[in-house]
């Protein structure tokens, strides 16, 4: 009798869980789509001005959302303020610049697969930087994910562009490392911030940093703004950044951390499928095998013993 009345098994709870799963799936689809948007952006804009434009589009929306929801900025101490600036510079600006620069030099499909290694890289970075215990599941996941990346970066089809493709892959790996450091810096904050307030702060600081860094490029950038690149920047800012943020945190609040982490496997699949559908990139055997290994690594790292490491909702 008590079992039939359990909230975990009630129709309302089941419905809420299903909605959460849908939100997490949609959030990770938007994350996968960032490689397509970055590919289009990189064809018309330099990475740093494009990054500044991304934040310029997203910041007003975040500020409106804060006003509507009544969310306020906490008052950080000096240490937390420095951590927030470092987070924005590394996780927001660094990640976006390297992602766009990487997709300028390699395929969107390969980029999606490489970005799918984020959960494994997060776990490994936590073990190295924070000296967390290096679990067997972490080692297994890193090994499987590394093999998947090696398949797409070292396969003959991926080397047709010579060092240009490998340079792009290296930049994308750098983007993943930036995002993993972003997550670790977030854990070091003395006072946790509300997700909406922190995303708004990351966007505002990221805008200031990237706009200042892009100063030498602004005259040429503003002189010729390709419409397709601007539309791609607007999409990146409003869909993966704002809508993806809302979908991920709303869905993740209704399920366990390990359960939410499993949905990060959707991101590389989304990136590869969209690269084929939108950009016409071929689904080679090496890419399919690499994708399968990266997705398998996500399931290994999302075991109940591993701490949650969100996939891509930075910033």
> What confidence category does residue 13 fall into, taking pLDDT thresholds of 50, 70 and 90?
low
Residue 118: predicted pLDDT: 86
Give tens-digit pLDDT for 233-281. Answer: 999 999 998 998 888 888 887 887 667 778 888 999 999 999 999 999 8
Q: How confident is the model at residue 77 (pLDDT cuts 50, 70, 90)?
A: very high
Mark 300-313 as b/e (b = at least 16 C-beta within 10 Å).
bbbbeebebbbbbb
Q: Following CA atoms 227, 231, 236, 240 in sequence, which dihedral angle do they give, to the nearest 10 degrees?
A: -160
Structure-block tokens of residue 117: 């290694």
**What pTM was estimated for this model as a whole?**
0.84
What confidence tier does 162 reach under pLDDT thresholds 50, 70, 90?
very low
Cite the beta strand spans of 173-277 per DSSP E. Answer: none
Check whether 76 has a pLDDT greater than 50. Answer: yes
- Comparing CA positions, the residue from 165, 206, 239 lying closest to residue 50 is 206
Q: Which residue has the tokens 């959460």?
A: 20
The pLDDT-based confidence of 314 (bands split at 50, 70, 90) is low
pLDDT band for 37, please (50, 70, 90 cuts).
very high
């Amino acid at each position: 009798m008590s079992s039939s009345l359990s909230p975990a098994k009630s129709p309302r709870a089941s419905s809420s869980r299903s909605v959460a799963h849908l939100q997490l799936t949609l959030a990770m689809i938007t994350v996968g789509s960032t490689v397509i948007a970055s590919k289009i952006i990189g064809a018309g804009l330099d990475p740093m001005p494009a990054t500044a434009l991304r934040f310029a589009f997203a910041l007003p929306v975040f500020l409106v959302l804060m006003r509507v929801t009544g969310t306020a900025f906490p008052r950080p101490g000096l240490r937390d303020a420095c951590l927030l600036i470092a987070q924005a510079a590394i996780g927001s600006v660094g990640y976006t610049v390297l992602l766009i620069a990487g997709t300028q030099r390699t395929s969107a499909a390969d980029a999606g697969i490489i970005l799918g290694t984020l959960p494994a890289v997060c776990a490994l970075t936590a073990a190295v930087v924070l000296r967390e215990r290096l679990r067997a599941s972490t080692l297994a996941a890193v090994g499987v994910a590394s093999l998947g990346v090696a398949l797409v970066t070292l396969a003959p089809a991926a080397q047709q562009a010579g060092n240009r493709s490998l340079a792009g892959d290296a930049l994308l790996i750098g983007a993943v490392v930036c995002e993993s450091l972003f997550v670790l810096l977030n854990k070091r904050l003395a006072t946790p911030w509300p997700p909406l307030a922190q995303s708004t702060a990351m966007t505002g600081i990221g805008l200031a940093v990237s706009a200042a860094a892009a100063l030498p490029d602004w005259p040429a950038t503003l002189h010729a703004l390709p419409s397709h690149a601007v539309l791609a920047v607007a999409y990146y800012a409003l869909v993966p950044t704002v809508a993806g943020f809302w979908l991920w945190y709303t869905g993740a609040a209704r399920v366990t951390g390990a359960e939410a982490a499993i949905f990060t496997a959707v991101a590389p699949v989304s990136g590869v499928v969209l690269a084929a559908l939108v950009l016409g990139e071929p689904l080679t055997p090496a890419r399919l095998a690499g994708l399968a290994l990266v997705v398998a690594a996500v399931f290994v790292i999302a075991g109940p013993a591993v701490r949650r490491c969100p996939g891509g909702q930075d910033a």
